[in-house]
Structure formats: C-alpha cells, structure tokens
C-alpha cells in the first residue's frame, strides 16, 4: 500500500535549504521574505539533532511579544527542506498575527493554520521544479509532490470519514470493539483504494492501522488537513499566477488571527470553502503534476 517509487534522492544541505525557503517566499513580497531571511540570522530555528531533543517538527508562536521559534531536526533531503518551509509558514502566521492583533485575537484555529504552512510548500515546490531539469530528478520531485496530494488530501479525508463513522456508531448505541473498528476501517480502505475493483490489494493487516493514529483522540482534527491543503493549492496558484490583489489578501489573512471565523477569513482571500471551486482547483493541480510525470515517462 505504501510502496515507494524508486528515484533520485535530491539532497539539500542546510545552507541550500535556507536559500530555497527564502527565495520561495519572495512572491509574498519583501515584508514577508525579509523576515524569513532575518529569522535564520536571529536564531529562530533549532535545526540540528542533539542529546535529549525530541523528534518531529514544530513551530511555537504562543509567546505574544516574542518572535516564534521553530524546532526541527533538519535532514538534507526534499522532505527536510519542505518541512523547513512548512514550519516557517506557521512561524510567519504567528509573527504577523501577533504583530497585527490584540492578544485576545492573535491565536488562530487549526482550520487556517495548515493553510499558511502548505502555501509555503506550494511555493517551494514551484521553485525547485523550475530549478530541476534532469529527467530522473524531476520525476522523483514530481512523485514526492503527488504523494503530498495522496497523504494530505485523500488519506486525511479517509481518516476523517472513519472518525465520523466512529461517532455515528456511538450515537446509535453501537459498542466499539476492536473487531468493529477494524471492520469499519477496512471497508473504508477497500473503497478508497479500489480493492474490490482490483486496483489495489489491501491486506488484512492494514485493518488495524487506525490504532496508531493519535489524532483520533482530538475530535475532528484530521479533516482540517485536507481542507487546508485544498485552500492552499487555490491560494498558491493565485499568488504564483500574479492574480491582482492575491498576495495582499493573503498577507491580510495571515495577519488576522482569530478576529473573524476561519471560513470568512478564507472567503476574503477569494477562497470559498463552501463551494466546490477550491477542490476543483486542487484536482486540476494534481492532474497537472500527473501529466508532467507522463510526459517524462513518454506516455
């Protein structure tokens, strides 16, 4: 189910990674990318592994009158530089919200938090694609980008559907045993991956995958990854295409904290999450990357 596609391992040392993240954010204007550049010089980032340091990657901007901090363990690969861009999306969201909002409204919801991080991923992917011309390296990069669509848009929706079924079962008085949960999850896997149609074989062992997903303990968290990813694709396209006002609206969005409901903040950027348009744009972007893969493979 999670078999990787063999390709060229693209390597980016930390200095190259910093340059890529700064340059990728230049479409957002000097007021944004200059702060990112300064952040590296001012020690906002703890990037190297050390004894006792936890794994993972995080941004913390909860200290209202102090700049955000990014905690991660940088790896010299595409995932490492993407994670760096992702966490700086969070950091800049906190920086701009804290700078422009009173303390009570400076924090923001998860629904919009992952928009800020994944817009940076979109900008970074565009830049690296432009700089990558070697066929196999470009193919590997495109497959990594497509895997982001699979894991963030489709897989998180799959998780959210499972979570909804759990709650509906409880509301209907159905006991939740391990066998019941396994059966629910396996049925969803079958439908998402086309098991019964012979598209992808799902082994029985995957039925228990749900048990290691900690997000299910945070009610209705995972669906927001998919909605945020969808919104970020639409926003990223508008910014990169130079749509009039797109960058200014996005920076205002990052500066708004929780001053309005998340759905309204996104509407002000031109992304209406109550319509199908953002999803259609996300599918168009995914199809573009798939077409690029097929061109490289000569199909």
CATH of the domain at 199: 1.10.1370.20
Average pLDDT over residues 91-110: 97
* CA atoms of 28 and 236, how far apart (whole Å): 10
Tell me, yes or no, whether 252 lies in a domain: yes
For residues 112 and 228, give the distance between their C-alpha atoms in angstroms, rounded to a whole number. 6
203 is catalytic: no
Q: Could you give the CA distance from residue 85 to residue 149 in angstroms, rounded to a whole number?
A: 17
**Are 158 and 268 contained in the same domain?**
yes
* pLDDT tens per residue, range 147-169: 999 999 999 999 999 999 999 99
Nearest to 124 by CA among 92, 93, 89: 89
pLDDT tens digits, residue range 208-246? 999 999 999 888 999 999 999 999 999 999 999 999 999
65/154 same-domain check:
no
The residue among 111, 136, 161 that closes a domain is 136
Does residue 215 share a domain with residue 127?
no
- For residue 8, pLDDT beyond 90: no
Q: List Cα–Cα distances, 48 to 55, 73, 282, in angstroms.
A: 11, 5, 34
Catalytic residue among 9, 30, 42, 87: 87
- Does the residue 4 lie in any domain? no
Q: Is residue 7 part of a domain?
A: no
Kindly tell me the number of DSSP H helices and DSSP E strands found in the chain: 12, 3
Residue 272 belongs to what domain range? 145-297
| In the predicted structure, residue 37 carries a pLDDT above the cut 60 | yes
pLDDT at residue 6 in the model:
60
Boundary-marking domain end, from 136, 166, 200: 136
Burial (CB count <10 Å: 0-12, 13-18, 19+), residue 217: exposed
Q: How many domains does the chain have?
A: 2
Q: Which residue has the tokens 């996005």?
A: 250
């Amino acid at each position: 189910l999670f078999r990787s596609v063999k390709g060229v391992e693209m390597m980016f040392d930390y200095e190259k990674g910093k340059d890529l993240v700064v340059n990728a954010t230049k479409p957002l204007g000097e007021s944004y990318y200059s702060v990112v550049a300064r952040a590296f010089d001012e020690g906002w980032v703890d990037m190297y592994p050390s004894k006792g340091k936890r794994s993972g990657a995080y941004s913390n901007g909860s200290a209202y009158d102090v700049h955000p901090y990014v905690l991660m363990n940088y790896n010299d690969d595409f995932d490492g530089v993407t994670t760096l861009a992702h966490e700086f999306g969070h950091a800049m969201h906190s920086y701009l919200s804290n700078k422009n909002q009173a303390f009570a409204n400076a924090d923001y919801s998860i629904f919009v938090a992952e928009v800020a991080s994944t817009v940076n991923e979109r900008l970074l992917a565009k830049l690296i694609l432009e700089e990558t011309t070697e066929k196999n390296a470009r193919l590997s990069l495109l497959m990594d980008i497509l895997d982001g669509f699979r894991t963030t848009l489709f897989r998180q929706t799959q998780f959210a559907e499972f979570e909804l079924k759990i709650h509906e079962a409880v509301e209907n008085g159905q006991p939740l045993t391990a066998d019941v949960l396994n059966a629910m999850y396996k049925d969803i896997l079958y439908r998402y991956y086309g098991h019964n149609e012979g598209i992808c074989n799902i082994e029985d062992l995957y039925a228990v995958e749900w048990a290691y997903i900690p997000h299910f303990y945070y009610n209705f968290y995972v669906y927001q990854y998919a909605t945020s990813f969808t919104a970020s694709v639409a926003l990223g396209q508008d910014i990169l295409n130079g749509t009039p006002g797109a960058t200014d609206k996005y920076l205002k969005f990052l500066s708004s904290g929780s001053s309005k409901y998340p759905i309204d903040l996104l509407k002000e950027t031109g992304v209406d999450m109550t319509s199908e348009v953002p999803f259609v744009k996300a599918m168009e972007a995914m199809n573009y990357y798939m077409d690029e893969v097929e061109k490289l493979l000569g199909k």
